[in-house]
Amino acid sequence: MSFVSTVCIALDQAGVRYAIVGGYAVALHGAVRGTMDVDIVINWDLGSLQKAVKALNEIDLVSSLPVDAEEVFQFRDEYVQNRNLIAWNFYNPGDISQQVDIIITYDLKGKGRQKLTTRSGPLHVLNLKELIDMKRKSGRPQDLEDAKALEILR
């Protein structure tokens, strides 16, 4: 089973409403894009964040920062505005190629996602329109290139 499938199954089993974003989402929508980490967004509330962290811990991923879900949730604006933290990273100490970023600057509430069925199970990806909008809003050069590639597929 692929790492991304393992992550998605763990989140599904924990009852977390999530969507894959980032390079994996770009590739899953059909554009050529390489990436190592799995970027996800969730409904931004404390309960969802706690469930996501627990699910990631259960598949041997640990936080790269000495903080917990309550701190990230409570001090989100501080982390984003004053520390330039966009994503909360989790990694497997035994295999650092296994990494997940929870994007803390995006709330999945009210956003569309698409369910894809793979051999390993279902994956939820931010829908094409929402992903293009998210990529454009970030303004980062790679994200703007991703948005252009996704527009071609639209």
Would you list the DSSP string of 33-44?
Answer: ---SSEEEEE--
- What pLDDT sits at residue 80? 95
Q: Give the C-alpha separation, 154 to 41, whole Å.
A: 22
Structure confidence by residue, pLDDT tens digits, 45-104: 999 999 999 999 999 999 999 999 999 999 999 999 999 999 999 999 999 999 999 999
- What pLDDT sits at residue 108? 98
Q: How far apart are the first and last CA of the chain?
A: 30
- What pLDDT sits at residue 102? 98
Which of the following CATH numbers is that of domain 3-144: 3.40.640.10, 3.30.460.40, 1.10.645.10, 3.40.50.1980?
A: 3.30.460.40
* pTM of the predicted structure, to 2 decimals: 0.94
Q: Give the C-alpha separation, 77 to 105, whole Å.
A: 9
Q: Largest Cα–Cα distance of the chain, in whole Å?
A: 42
Average of pLDDT values for 98-127? 94
HSE-CB of 144 using CA atoms within 13 angstroms? 3
Share of the chain above pLDDT 90, in %: 84
Please name which of 92, 89, 105, 96 lies closest in space to residue 137, comparing C-alpha atoms: 105
Q: Give the C-alpha separation, 63 to 65, whole Å.
A: 5
Average of pLDDT values for 144-151? 91
Q: Are 90 and 63 in contact (CB under 8 A)?
A: yes
